[in-house]
Amino acid sequence: MKTGVSGELLNISGLSFSYEKDKEVLKDIDLKAVDGESIALVGANGIGKSTLMKLMVGLYLDFSGDITVAGHKMCAANLDHIREHIGYVFQDSDSQLFLSTVEDDVAFGPRNYGLSEEEVEQRVAKALGQVGIENLRKSKTYKLSGGEKKLASIATILSMEPDIVIMDEPSVALDPRNRRNLIMVLKDIRGLKIIASHDLDFVMNTCERTILLDDATIVADGATKDILGNEALLQAHGL
Amino acid sequence: MNSIEKKLLELNKIEDIQQRSHWMNSLHPLGKLLISVIYILCVTSFDKYDIVHLILMSVYIIFTFAIGELSFKEGIYRMRLILPLLIFVGIFNPFLDKNIVLIAGYEVRGGIVSMLTLVVKGVYTVLAVYALIATTPIDDICYALRIIKIPKIIVIVIMLIYRYIDVMSKEADRIFTSYRLRAPGQKGIAYKYWGALVGQWLLRSMDRAQIVYESMTLRGFRGDFIPSKKSVRALDVIYPIVWIAIFMIIRFAVTG
């Protein structure tokens, strides 16, 4: 739900994380992001992009350093508050859509946060409208095409009206038309957007800021056109 | 199409039927659940020789399938596993039960009647359950279970099993298809690969189940599915009352 918090929505400082002892996946990450920004997380496979995003939504709590989301410090006690303000779109839409119909799935989040049925109804209609799939409202999720599933997945997050939307490889397996459609949809989403992607054209079209990860840390953080325009930098870091 | 794909298609087909815009589908799930439970209790409570009155109970099945536009063929198909079991259980009755009973004025061996009664009870029960699930999505059945105060933990386990059956079936389908495409001419899976494939299947299913669970928790899931509240119309009350009354009449008044 919208916090009303403006300005800084995400503040990460000194973040380190490892799945196994002595094998840090992320090391001393510092990152600040403000409302309205579109940030791309790029880097080679297995470099820790997904891990960083999962840390942002509190799926892993055994990290060192600090993460503050919409004014809430990341800890077990604050998870419910944090998750009201941050939405995560998984790479695999089949895992994101777990209910029978698009309508039920999009309503799942708002219902869990105790909204009235009228409000849930409004949220569902608005979210489906935002991604342009009002016609799929009653559709069975297993019958959707890849592009439709991706849009439905995004709608499940938008219905919660988060301040921050995080997306893991949203353009994967989309045909050119659906990819163009997704770019238009993302441009219309307000708030802070953080998108992990290997699709550099897609990043160029959707994000004005890019963060390049390599060797468990941030190696570059700046304007997308500067970073993606620096071929030597990209090649040096596996892109 | 392999057998797993067929099973997935069957599951999807039932979900399609559940989503039809038929008046029977839109009835309140509590009414339908109560009708089914009471029907099954009534059917199973008939005496083992009382096949004549038991046949009257078919009125519900016939009505539901005919008016509800459900396929008898599909319903019978669902019984392919249970029917042999019923026959196996009842097959010895004609040899063990040598009583003579009167059926419509004819003397018949009690064992034959009791075997038939057992089979008919099984058929009715399976068809009644099929009628329920074909007209009521699992979420609505669970909603009704919660109304009648079935413990939350049991209802959630039912819902999650339903979700994860889908996850595990899809993983099994992917693994089997991938194997089949690289093992042409083989019937089934070679014995030596079973260990690795089953292990992979479980690990991958657990991985996917974990992602589904994360997706749920990130959208506010705190151990309880919150269904949309269903409004209750006059038909939602009248329909179960009429049927339960009919069952009671057949069971207690007609049977005596």
Low-confidence ranges of chain B (pLDDT < 50): none
CA separation for the pair B160, B167 (Å, rounded): 10
CA separation for the pair A182, A184 (Å, rounded): 5
Look at residue A92 in the predicted model and tell me its pLDDT. Answer: 87
Chain A residues in contact with B21 (beta carbon < 8 A): none
Shortest CA distance to A108 belongs to which of B25, B31, B218?
A: B218
Q: How far is A125 from chain B (nearest CA, A)?
A: 15
Best mutation site among A97, A112, A168 for testing chain B: the one with the most B CBs within 10 Å?
A112
Lowest pLDDT segment from A29-43, A148-162, B222-236: B222-236
Q: What does the domain layout of chain B look like in residue ranges?
A: 1-16+151-225, 20-136+231-254
Residue A49 to residues A32, A70, A166, A195: CA-CA distances in angstroms?
16, 21, 11, 10
Q: How far is A233 from chain B (nearest CA, A)?
A: 33
Cβ contact B211–A90 (<8 Å): yes
- Size of the A and B interface in Cβ pairs below 8 Å: 72
Shortest CA distance to A28 belongs to which of A65, A53, A61?
A: A65
Is the model more confident about A52 or about B97? Answer: A52
Is the model more confident about A94 or about A210? Answer: A210
CB of A162 within 8 Å of a chain B CB? The answer is no
The mean predicted confidence, pLDDT, of chain A is: 90
Look at residue A225 in the predicted model and tell me its pLDDT. Answer: 94
Q: How far is A27 from chain B (nearest CA, A)?
A: 24
Q: Is the pTM of this model over 0.90?
A: no
Look at residue B256 in the predicted model and tell me its pLDDT. Answer: 56
pLDDT in tens, B103-141: 777 888 888 999 999 999 999 999 999 999 999 988 889
Query: Residue A235: how many CB atoms within 10 A of its CB?
Result: 9
Chain B residues in contact with A142 (beta carbon < 8 A): 12, 15
pLDDT of A112 above 60? yes
Q: Please determine, for the modelled complex, whether the ipTM score is greater than 0.85.
A: no
Look at residue A154 in the predicted model and tell me its pLDDT. Answer: 93
Look at residue B255 in the predicted model and tell me its pLDDT. Answer: 60
Tell me the pLDDT band of A1, cut-offs 50, 70 and 90. Answer: low
pLDDT in tens, B222-256: 877 777 777 889 999 999 999 999 999 998 877 65
Look at residue A5 in the predicted model and tell me its pLDDT. Answer: 59
Look at residue B2 in the predicted model and tell me its pLDDT. Answer: 67
pLDDT of A4 above 60? no
CA separation for the pair B19, A100 (Å, rounded): 9
Contacts of A159 (CB under 8 A, 6+ apart): A106, A107, A109, A110, A123, A124, A126, A127
Cβ contact A101–B19 (<8 Å): yes
B194-210 burial: b if 16+ Cβ within 10 Å, else e: eeebeeebeebbeebbe
> Residue B29 in 3-state DSSP?
helix
Contacts of B253 (CB under 8 A, 6+ apart): none
Tell me the pLDDT band of A201, cut-offs 50, 70 and 90. Answer: very high
Shortest CA distance to B130 belongs to which of B81, B188, B97?
A: B81
Instruction: Please compute the mean of the pLDDT values over residues A134-147 and round it to a whole number.
Output: 89
Is the model more confident about A61 or about B20? Answer: A61
Cβ contact B211–A92 (<8 Å): yes
Is the model more confident about A188 or about A1? Answer: A188
Tell me the pLDDT band of A2, cut-offs 50, 70 and 90. Answer: low
